[in-house]
Each structure stands twice: as structure tokens, then as C-alpha cells.
Amino acid sequence: MRRLALALALVAASAARAETQAPPAAGAEEKPLQAWEVDLFAGYGQLAWPTQDTTNLGWSNGGPGFALTFAYRGPHFTHPFFELAYIPILGSGRYVNVFTPSGTQTQFASNSTWAWGLVVGPGWDVDWFRFRAGVGLYDVVVHTNVAGVTNTVAQVTVGFQAAASALVWRPDPFAVGVEVRIVGLQMPLTGIYQSMWEVGLTGRWDFTRFR
Amino acid sequence: MNSDRRLLALALTALTSAACVSRTSPEPPTFQAGGLIALSTPPPNPYSLKNALEGVYDTTSRFGSGVVVHASQWGSLSTEVQASVAILAADHDAFAIMQAGCLSPLVLPAITTTQLVLEGYWRYLDVNEPDSSSTGLVRLFVQPQAVVDYVCGAPAWNATLPPGDPRAPPSTANLALVGSTGEGPNQPGDPLTVTWVKARKSRNGPAGTPTFLVGVHHGGCQTTDNCGISENTPETAILATQLGGDYLEIDTRLTKDNVPVFFHLGLNPGVVQGVYCTGKVEDYTYNELLADCRLRAGEVIPRVVDMIDYILARTTLPMYLDSKTTDVILPVAQILTKLDGELGLNPGEYPDNLNDPNNNGYVRCNPPPPNHPTPWPPAGKRCLFPGSGPVWQRGVIGLPDSSSVSTYQQELAAKQFSSNQHCLVEENVSDVTGTPCVAWMPRYTRGPMTSDVLSLQQGGYFVGFWTINDKATIDAFLTTAVPNGILTNYLGLLNQRFEAVGTAPPYTPTRTTTP
């Protein structure tokens, strides 16, 4: 928790410093360009931590992840963003011992878990690199199938996200590049529970620009 | 700009490292190759340690003064009854748990006479992430030789004999435990002498039965205190016995497919592990919990039937089964009924499990009940741990709020419980007498409520408080409320404080032992 508080404080400090730095004024009669942008991310991701118990594990994988982001780029170094994200966490199949009317039996269980997130936070553009850190509410869904019986459970939790992008191709007003993300989910009032990584392609479109 | 980038990099680093906080529970340290205990033999009578060592002692290091040395017995008749010795202290909420072994010169030529060695580990519970400064190994030798000979030369005990050692205790003159403690897994090297001061206070009332009991909150150790055992598990009953607990408070819930289990609150990472283990126990079937959830120290979430079975066979502890939802009350009561093989022994008791050949419940074997038929135990019945009360005395349904009281009263009126089912109320005093239940256990933050406590105690009810973990508050309640019990996470602390300032209430809680 202390590390998370430190992270948030550092992000806030970064934003505050940017606010206090005056934009270059000399000879700048022209106002700086501002833009509303929409971003799309599509990639692959899966659970990074905690490590899985591999005992009797049959298969395990992550899945496709997506994100739709709106951001406002103003004259400041820091830009705010709002995001709707789908985060794959894990899918796996394993043999488990369960109780049956005839006693304990080994059965196959296939489970998957994913999360929908609403995330806000600051971002920073440094040349053709982009960094973002956010905090959000995540609806974590667990779908289980144990011995043929299915069940789906959902729980809302707090989460944190960090992303780094390299926008390598920038045909104005678009930009396309690669992106790496990490997401940490935290259950209410307790420590970090799960963290995921994602890697994929990202695209940016400045759908509104003004000065 | 550069400083902004540094801050950003630091923030990302902190986020990443925060996402990697370990969640596995550490194990207590152990001696390599089993230590000297591996070369020793257990005392012939597991009860002789209680006669010889139980008392209040001073220590030269680590544990402070006025500590309690407590000898306990646990195990099962199908394996063996085992003995432990614990040091229970207020300083750092410390404890040490040790096994006892008799070392013979025939096995260890370096010694000339038989030695009684105590080996185990110590722990400071005021540090909940144990490291080498808050846990380590301990090895002590009992002195003088007369006490060693008393314990190691005791006549062998077996399950046909009454629990206990009928011999008079040995002299306490010069009684001491001498040895050393260590840090972490390192061999003990810091000298420690534990010197006898006085006998423990009596906890008995005028009727000669205990009127003050140390209550165990969720088991001998909270999961968050990292004792190597998760709370609300069968193994915590053993730990609680070793640490001087007298009754257990454990939490019952009902799974989606109506299986009663022991679990406290939500499936959060402080107490469980498993990617697919989120939400509430009530969201999942038991097989799903079994497949996808492990408690923090690796255990499965226990079914009530399995865990009560374990506790009945291996300890003498009564259980206060705290009903976390109203729908778990009846299923838990039905489990208790089925496990009580003595129901039907006395006139008016129902159902008649005693004469039901399909019932394999538990009966008292050692000692047997006074009015038992012969042969005893009846065919198919199982034996409770030696010295145990009957099942109906040991399983009390906890009613934490008015809705659970109401549910209990409805089921009682519909004759859904066995005739001997007991209950405990946490909130309203009037519900204790009105339901009726046998005990009242309010939250301590309501204050000592001395007149209510006294009134109920005079009526033969048990009165305890939950859950007190600090020395000053424990002392205040022991001296002002004079309750029959206090629930705590720190059993060593409560045991030590009772010896320091406590008084056994003069009123015997007769209703807890009355059918």
C-alpha cells in the first residue's frame, strides 16, 4: 500500500510540476495546438502475478485485450485521459479433486477470468513516446466450470494501470505504434491481488484540433 | 522536464513493485534433521508434563517476567496423544511452542543421565511479518534431575487409563528450563533460563469447575499474523490448545450449494490465494472453492463437518460456531446432532443416536459418561478426545445479531434442533434468557456492563467478551467485568494477564454443562 501511495504521489507531483511550468512565450503569438484524441489498443495479455500453481495444470493462457481511450492534449506536458478497457487475466484447465456422492473424485475444471475497467489518469507525450498511468474501477469476472457445472461471479475492485507506447508511424492526424501495459488489481482495503501485462498495437486519431 | 520524467519513471517502478507483493505465508523455523527431539522418545505419559512444569516463571531474556509455562495434550486416540509445552508471555505478545523428548545416554553417549529436552520455535506476534528478529528456534533442558526422572520415568499412559497423571507433582525447588534461543533458522545460541516462580492461579469456582476460560478468536493465530497456519482451519485448534486456549470461536458460512464451511469474511487476498478465488464464499459451490481457492497457508476452506470431526477427536476444546449468515444455523446444528453419538443416553434426549446403528457419532470413552450402558462404546460409535465433554457441550451455535436470534427461535419452535442444542447471543441480554441460550458474548467496546454480567452469571450463564487484544483493556475487563471468558488473538497475552491480575468468577456457568 505504501508503494502504491508513493506511485500516486509521484504521478500527482509530476502533474503539479508540469502545471507550474510556463509554456514557452517568446515570439509565440500563435497559441499552442490543442486536441481531443481517441485511441484504440488491441493486443494480447495475461496474468503476470501471482504465479499459478502448476500442479495438475492441463493448459493455461491469457487472451486478447482491448481499450478505447479519450484524451485531451492541451498546452501542458501532462494530458488527462479516460479509458474503457477489457483486460484478459487468465484461462486455464486443471485436474482437481472434488466431492461427489460416491466420494472424492478427480475431475477436470476449466476456468477463466477477465476484467472490464473504467480508468482515468494523466499521460505524457515525449517525442513519439507516450506514457500513461491511471486508476480505475474494474469489474472482475470469474467464470468457472468444475466437473461440468458452470458459474460466473463478478466483483468490482480498484485497479491501477501503467502504459508505455512508441508511436512509430504518424500520418497526421493519426499515429500508430506499439504499446505495453501493466495492470494491478486491488481488492478493497487489502493489498495488490493480481497484476497483468498486455502488449499490442495502438492507434491515435486527433478527431478535434483547435488553438 | 527531466525531473518530470524521473518522477514518472519512479512512479512506474513503484507501481510495478507494488504489484509483486508476496502473499505466501511463512513457515515457523524448524531444527535441521529434527534436532534432539528426533533422537529422543516422548514422555511415557503425555499428562505428566502438566504436573511437572505448569506454572508461572521468570525468564532471563526474550520473554520477560511472569510468563506462563503451559503443558497441553492433543492428537487422537487413533494415532497417539501428544504433549507440548508453551511459554506464554505479554512482552511482544510472545510465545514459544516446544515438543518434549527424553534423551537417553544409550542414544546420546555425550550425556551421563537421562535428559528432558524441549525443542521448538518462539515468535513475537507484535510483528506480523516474522523475520529473524521476531521468530527463531528454542531449545531448553529441564532441571533438576528429579523432575526429569518424574517425567521420563512415568508409568506409560494408554487410552484405557484416565487422562492425567495420578502421581503427586514433583517438587518445584530449583525447577528451571535452561538453554538458549536463536534467530530465524539459526541454531540457538542466546542463553535463556526460565525459572519457576509460583503455581498458576486456580480458574475454578466454588463448584470445582473452571469459571474463567481463554477464548480463541478464529483459531490460535490470525492469518495476517503469519503463524504458518491459516485461521478457521482444523490445525488452528491444535495451535490453540498448545497456546493455552480453552474454547474456540470459529465462523460458519454456507456455500452456494448449501455446504456449511468455516470462513470469516470475503475471499480477499489477505486470507485466500487463487486467481479464480474472488467475491464471497456464498458465490461458489464447495467443489468450486475446493478447485479454485486455497487459504493463505495452502489449506482448503474446510467443511464444517470435517473440521468439527477433527476437533472433537483431537482436542477437548468447546466451539462457539459464529453464524455469519442466518441460513447456516440449521445446517450446522444438524451436523452437530449427527456427530453426537450420545444423544438418547438420558431420558428425553432426541434424536436417539445412541441406539441408531447407522449413527457413527462421537461418545465419551475416557472417561465414559456415568450412566452408560454396556458394552461401551457402542458399536460403530467413535471416541472423543480423552477428557472431552459430550458433543452437545462442545458445539454452541453463535447468534451475532437479532436476525440470527429470530431464525434460531423459529427453528427451535419447529423442533428442528436436538434437545441439547446450545446457543450463544452476542447482542441483547434479553435474548440470552428469552431464546433461551446458555451464554452472552458482547463486543467489548460496549464496556464492561458489570450489572448485566453479574446478573447473567448468577443465573448460571456464561459471559464473555470479544475480541480484546491489548494488555490495558484485557486488564480492565479482567478486573472490572470479571467475565467467564475473553476472546483474543493473543492467547499468550491473555493467559499471562490472567495470572497477573485476573480472578475466576465465583459463579459457575452451569447452563453450559446442563442438557
Give the nearest chain A residue to B21 (CA atoms).
Answer: A192
Say whether both B145 and B121 belong to one domain: yes
Residue B207, pLDDT score? 83
Contacts of A179 in chain B (CB under 8 A): none
Residue A139, pLDDT score? 92
Say whether both B128 and B258 belong to one domain: no
Query: End of a domain among B198, B227, B261?
Result: B198
- The whole-angstrom distance between A70's CA and the closest CA on chain B is 21
Quick check: is A99 in a domain? no
CA distance B328 to B280: 15
Say whether both B187 and B217 belong to one domain: no
CA distance B239 to B94: 14
Contacts of A98 in chain B (CB under 8 A): 287, 290-291
Beta pairing partners, A107? A96
CA distance B420 to B436: 12
Average pLDDT over residues B94-114: 94
Say whether both B231 and B274 belong to one domain: yes
CA distance A173 to B122: 67
pLDDT greater than 60 at residue A32: yes
Q: Is B2 on the interface with A (CB under 8 A)?
A: no
Q: Report pLDDT digits (tens) over B31-66.
A: 999 999 999 999 999 999 999 999 999 999 999 999
Q: Within the 370-389 window of chain B, which residues sit less than 8 Å (CB to CB) from chain A?
A: none
A7/B233: higher pLDDT: B233
Q: How distant, in Å, are the alpha carbons of B77, B444, B511, B513 from that of B508?
A: 30, 21, 9, 10
Per-chain mean pLDDT for chain A: 85
Q: What is the CATH number of the domain that holds B438?
A: 3.20.20.190
Contact B290 A97 (CB under 8 A): yes
Q: Is A7 on the interface with B (CB under 8 A)?
A: yes
Q: Which amino acid is at B57?
A: Y
Instruction: Tell me which of A187, A196, A198 to substitute to probe the interface with B (most B C-beta atoms closer than 10 Å).
Output: A187
- Could you list the residue range(s) of the whole structural domain that residue B232 is in? 213-340+390-513
Q: Is B3 on the interface with A (CB under 8 A)?
A: yes
| Residue B491 DSSP label | H
Beta pairing partners, A194? A185
Instruction: Tell me which of B5, B222, B283, B287 to substitute to probe the interface with A (most A C-beta atoms closer than 10 Å).
Output: B287
Specify burial of residue B51 (Cβ count, 10 A radius: 0-12, 13-18, 19+): buried
Say whether both B428 and B481 belong to one domain: yes
Say whether both B183 and B222 belong to one domain: no
| Residue B93 DSSP label | G
Quick check: is B23 in a domain? no
Q: Is B17 on the interface with A (CB under 8 A)?
A: yes
H or E stretch including A208? Answer: strand A192-210
Specify burial of residue B238 (Cβ count, 10 A radius: 0-12, 13-18, 19+): buried
Contacts of B286 in chain A (CB under 8 A): 99
Q: Percent of chain A at pLDDT above 70?
A: 83
Q: Report pLDDT digits (tens) over B245-256.
A: 999 999 999 999
- The whole-angstrom distance between A134's CA and the closest CA on chain B is 11
Query: End of a domain among B198, B233, B252?
Result: B198
Dig out the grid coordinates for B105 from the structure. Answer: 545416554
Q: Report pLDDT digits (tens) over B428-460.
A: 999 999 999 999 999 999 999 999 999 999 999
Say whether both B193 and B223 belong to one domain: no
Quick check: is A174 in a domain? yes
Q: Report pLDDT digits (tens) over B329-371.
A: 999 999 999 999 999 999 999 999 999 999 999 999 999 999 8
Q: How distant, in Å, are the alpha carbons of A47, A145, A152, B285 from that of B288?
A: 20, 8, 11, 5
Q: Is B278 on the interface with A (CB under 8 A)?
A: yes
CA distance B136 to B121: 5
Say whether both B81 and B113 belong to one domain: yes
Structural domain count of chain A: 1
Q: Report pLDDT digits (tens) over B478-506.
A: 999 999 999 999 999 999 999 999 999 99
Query: End of a domain among B198, B228, B252?
Result: B198
Residue B274, pLDDT score? 87
State if pTM tops 0.90. Answer: no
Residue A25, pLDDT score? 52
Quick check: is B397 in a domain? yes
Structural domain count of chain B: 2
| Per-residue pLDDT band at A211 (split at 50, 70, 90) | confident
| Residue B270 DSSP label | T
Q: Report pLDDT digits (tens) over B299-319.
A: 999 999 999 999 999 999 999
Give the nearest chain B residue to A192 (CA atoms).
Answer: B19
Q: How many CB pairs under 8 A join A and B?
A: 153
Say whether both B145 and B232 belong to one domain: no
Q: Percent of chain A at pLDDT above 90?
A: 62
Say whether both B217 and B107 belong to one domain: no
Residue with cell 486536441: A35
Q: What is the CATH number of the domain that holds A163?
A: 2.40.160
How many other β-carbons are positioned within 10 Å of the β-carbon of residue B366? 19
Q: Report pLDDT digits (tens) over A110-149.
A: 999 999 999 999 999 999 999 999 999 999 999 999 988 9
pLDDT greater than 60 at residue A15: no
Q: Is A115 on the interface with B (CB under 8 A)?
A: no
Say whether both B135 and B228 belong to one domain: no
Contact B270 A142 (CB under 8 A): no
| Per-residue pLDDT band at A24 (split at 50, 70, 90) | low
Say whether both B90 and B229 belong to one domain: no
CA distance B386 to A87: 56
- Could you list the residue range(s) of the whole structural domain that residue A128 is in? 2-20+36-47+64-89+115-210
3-state SS, residue B478: helix
Quick check: is B268 in a domain? yes
Give the nearest chain A residue to B22 (CA atoms).
Answer: A50
